[in-house]
Structure 1
């Protein structure tokens, strides 16, 4: 069993929530609290959420983590 890790980032829009919700529906689990930071160049808030998932495969750097 291998635990894989991703960090989803997005502007603070509904799209961020949809991306996290989709990952949760595919078996990923939240890892810690979401983070929020102001992007002064764009003038908007940015969101981030770490997620993890246990898989029955050996990790390889070429894995497409979003497709797991």
Structure 2
């Protein structure tokens, strides 16, 4: 099994797929770190959310 990273920054188009990716990580033990960020690329809203996991959870 691949070792989990303690910190991850997830980015993507603000859609249900992005929410599913974040939800999956939360189910794996990650926690939200800070507030999400967003920008507009001329077509879509792009979001970023940092997540972290405790060392003892890895």
Normalising by the smaller structure, the TM-score range is: 0.7 to 0.9
Alignment TM-score, normalising by the size of structure 1: 0.70
Matched, 1:55 2:55: yes
- Unaligned 5+ segments in structure 1 are 57-67
Alignment TM-score, normalising by the size of structure 2: 0.81
- Offset of residue 39 of structure 1: 1.1
Structure possessing the higher radius of gyration over alpha carbons? 1
Q: Distance in 1 between matches of 2:49 and 2:32?
A: 7
Cα shift readout 1:3-38 (whole Å, capped 9, x = no counterpart): 811000010110010000000000000000111101
Runs of 4+ with >2 A deviation: none
